[in-house]
Amino acid sequence: MSDDFKLSKGGANHQEPRGDDDVMTTAQGAPVADDQNWLTAGPRGPQLVEDQVAREKIFHFDHERIPERVVHARGYGVHGHFELKKAIPEYSRAAIFNEVGVKTPTFTRFSTVAGNKGSPDLARDVRGFATKFYTREGNWDLVGNNIPVFFIQDAIKFPDLIHAAKPAPDRGFPQAQTAHDNFWDFISLSPESMNMVMWIMSDRTIPRSFRFMEGFGVHTFRLVNEKGEAHFVKFHWKPRLGLQSVIWNEALKVNGMDPDFHRRDMWDAIEAGDFPQWDLGIQVFDEEFAEQFEFDVLDATKIIPEEQVPVEIIGTLTLDANVDNFFAETEQVAFCTQNIVPGIDFTEDPLLQGRNFSYLDTQLKRLGSPNFTHIPINAPKCPVRHFQQDGHMAMHNPKGRANYEPNSWGDTDKPNEGRGPRACPERGFTSYPADVGGPKVRVRSETFADHYSQARQFYVSQTPVEQTHMANALTFELSKVERMDIRKRMIGHLRHIDEGLAQEVADGIGLEQLPEKVPAAREPITDLPESPALSIVRN
Ligand code: HEM
């Protein structure tokens, strides 16, 4: 194993001051005699622009802020490692899935979605669960959530969803923990979000801490083995501590008393040596299953129930070190669904494909340069060689004369010197040759049209207490919506999911008559079996 592929976080990730001299210097390294008094013309005179020490100090301070993430702005990052317990060469050629016992360094960032960087931790919101695996074949990012489904099927709707969820443009409120008309207006006009709505109204969106949450890759990905054979896969994180949530009243109190509750919990646990662990599970299935399954496996608003395809545990993530510097690591880390390694591949999931574009794009704006992979927290821990060069803040450029290919440097008198890296068909990433032909259209496949069956399956799989929490959450949220037509439209959706739930919420918000059902693109399957794995309370 190369020295680069090491577990220690010290120095490798933290952008530390250089040198061990304790004399303060300017950013140019010149020793500073006084950094508390600006040079003035006389003791009571005006400040002099000449003062290079003061000017540099203020200049740098003025530019400390970078844009917060457009979503998932509030987050908390932790170092750790992933250890493979079970090799899966039959499914994937990726080294990370074949070297049992090897500890791959990781960085995980937990987050809320809608709130800004300073918002409270206990908001009712989806939690991000993003992990960067620094594998010896490059970085693999599993950029997931604590909920296995998503609001929308197509990435083109993402800006609308997020605009509706964030504070309204005119009034600038509310934040994530209170309901609002824009959000429920969008949701009630987007039947595909109904499964996710059931999940966000459940206790899953008010976790007790990050340590008690599941995580999901959400999309169906592909695993590809040495022979080039592919299987579909869903990724799951199972917390060793089990699943726990708070109830809404507790969430409100915690938010008031300690808005940093979740990040403090993680920091304290790690400082105490109480390292949280998650098992990585996979659900693997083939084309044949995919075709017979009730739903389209490319539709990110659907799960594959664990009762139908059991989750197979293959390894463990241990989070064992807090960051040395929040900005350098947690703020500058850049996850991207596009970061995969040989043996893992995408599918044609239209949400995943859009994400692959979006993250890189936003990170250029957020971090300011295409060279953000040179920042230690984003840099792979394996050899990195290519002909990309220059740009703002370039830390690594091609060595020697050759910065293009094909080139013939080194071919003659000094083989292997000076020609730079070469693509390697044997070891390199090759896309799975999925058959994807077809006419150009802007129509979602009919196989994505059932929006209620799994929403119902989720609801009926909850314990009675959990169901009550959901009804209470819906009642609370919809009671905050001012427009009656939006409230009624939501009840019109709930009637497809469960008539009892629809009635309970309608009563709760004071509707005298149950509104009409919203016309359904496809009638729900009402006899899907219960899926106990969907409940937090698993006896
Ligand atoms: C950020 C998850 C859908 C765009 C994030 C983060 C997570 C996440 C966990 C935070 C990463 C971090 O900690 O830095 C998901 C999941 C999705 C989803 C699970 C659906 C399955 C989308 C879609 C888009 C999108 C459809 C756009 C089309 C973004 C952007 C960021 C982000 C722009 C900010 C990235 C940055 O500034 O570094 N997402 N997301 N996401 N997501 Fe998503």
72 catalytic residue (yes or no): yes
pLDDT tens sequence for the chain (539 residues): 333 344 445 445 567 777 878 999 999 999 999 999 999 999 999 999 999 999 999 999 999 999 999 999 999 999 999 999 999 999 999 999 999 999 999 999 999 999 999 999 999 999 999 999 999 999 999 999 999 999 999 999 999 999 999 999 988 887 655 558 999 999 999 999 999 999 999 999 999 999 999 999 999 999 999 999 999 999 999 999 999 999 999 999 999 999 999 999 999 999 999 999 999 999 999 999 999 999 999 999 999 999 999 999 999 999 999 999 999 999 999 999 999 999 999 999 999 999 999 999 999 999 999 999 999 999 999 999 999 999 999 999 998 889 999 998 877 666 556 889 999 999 999 999 999 989 999 999 999 999 999 999 999 999 999 999 999 999 999 999 999 999 999 999 999 999 999 999 999 999 999 999 999 999 999 999 999 999 998 75
Token pair for 415: 């083989």
Residue to mutate (ligand 1; options 68, 70, 72; most atoms within 8 A of CB):
72
- Size of the chain in residues: 539
Phi, psi (5° rounding) for residue 282? -125, 145
Three-state DSSP class for residue 491: helix
**Residues forming beta bridges with residue 497, ordered by sequence position:** none
**Residue 281: predicted pLDDT:** 98
**Residue 401: predicted pLDDT:** 86
Q: Are 203 and 466 in contact (CB under 8 A)?
A: yes
Tally of CA atoms within 13 A in the half-sphere of 390 that contains its CB: 1
Cα of 74 from ligand 1 centre, angstroms? 12
SS3 of 119-147: CCCCCCCCEEEEEEEEEECEEEEEEEECC
145 catalytic residue (yes or no): yes
The secondary element (H helix, E strand) that includes residue 256 is helix 248-257
**Residue 418: predicted pLDDT:** 80
Q: Checking phi first, is residue 28 left (phi over 0); if not, alpha (psi -120 to 50) or beta?
A: alpha
Cα gap 529→236, rounded to integer Å = 21
pTM of structure: 0.96
Cα dihedral value 490, 492, 496, 498, nearest 10: 70
Token pair for 216: 């999901």
The CA–CA distances, whole Å, from 102 to 6, 96, 98, 198, 391 equal: 11, 8, 9, 39, 36
Cα of 143 from ligand 1 centre, angstroms? 7
Token pair for 360: 């890189």
Token pair for 131: 């992990």
Contacts of 445 (CB under 8 A, 6+ apart): 296
Contacts of 534 (CB under 8 A, 6+ apart): 303, 305, 457, 458, 461, 462
Work out whether the CA dihedral 181, 157, 469, 209 comes out positive or negative.
negative
Query: Pocket residues for ligand 1 (CB within 6 Å)?
Result: 69-72, 75, 109, 111, 128, 130, 143-145, 150, 155, 158, 218, 300, 333-335, 351, 354-355, 358-359, 362-363, 366
Q: Are 452 and 525 in contact (CB under 8 A)?
A: no
The CA–CA distances, whole Å, from 202 to 28, 52, 124, 470, 533 equal: 54, 57, 9, 5, 14
- How many other CB atoms are there within 10 angstroms of residue 431's CB atom? 9
Residue whose CA is closest, atom 3 of ligand 1? Answer: 355
Q: Which atom of ligand 1 is nearest to the CA of 351?
A: 26
Cα gap 14→480, rounded to integer Å = 45
- Location of structure tokens 């933290």: 14
Q: Checking phi first, is residue 83 left (phi over 0); if not, alpha (psi -120 to 50) or beta?
A: beta
Residue whose CA is closest, atom 7 of ligand 1? Answer: 128
Cα gap 507→308, rounded to integer Å = 36
The CA–CA distances, whole Å, from 284 to 61, 91, 208, 525 equal: 50, 8, 30, 24
**Residues forming beta bridges with residue 236, ordered by sequence position:** 216, 281
Distance, CA of 10 to chain centre: 25
Q: Are 239 and 278 in contact (CB under 8 A)?
A: yes
Cα of 234 from ligand 1 centre, angstroms? 17
Work out whether the CA dihedral 233, 108, 340, 162 comes out positive or negative.
positive
Cα gap 285→221, rounded to integer Å = 11
- Location of structure tokens 């509030």: 74
Catalytic residue, chosen from 13, 139, 145, 146, is 145
Token pair for 315: 């390894």
Contacts of 215 (CB under 8 A, 6+ apart): 129, 131, 144, 145, 146, 236, 237, 278
Contacts of 501 (CB under 8 A, 6+ apart): 459, 467, 470, 471, 474, 494
The CA–CA distances, whole Å, from 68 to 108, 113, 155, 214, 333 equal: 18, 12, 21, 25, 12
**Residue 5: predicted pLDDT:** 46
Token pair for 438: 């077809």
Token pair for 527: 């006899």
Predicted ipTM > 0.90: yes
Q: Nearest-CA neighbor of 19 among 8, 9, 32, 29?
A: 29
- How many other CB atoms are there within 10 angstroms of residue 406's CB atom? 7
DSSP secondary structure letters along 389-428: --STT------SS--SSS--TTSSSSTTSSS-----TTTS
Give helix 499-508 / helix 464-479 axis angle, nearest 10°. 40
Residue whose CA is closest, atom 15 of ligand 1? Answer: 144
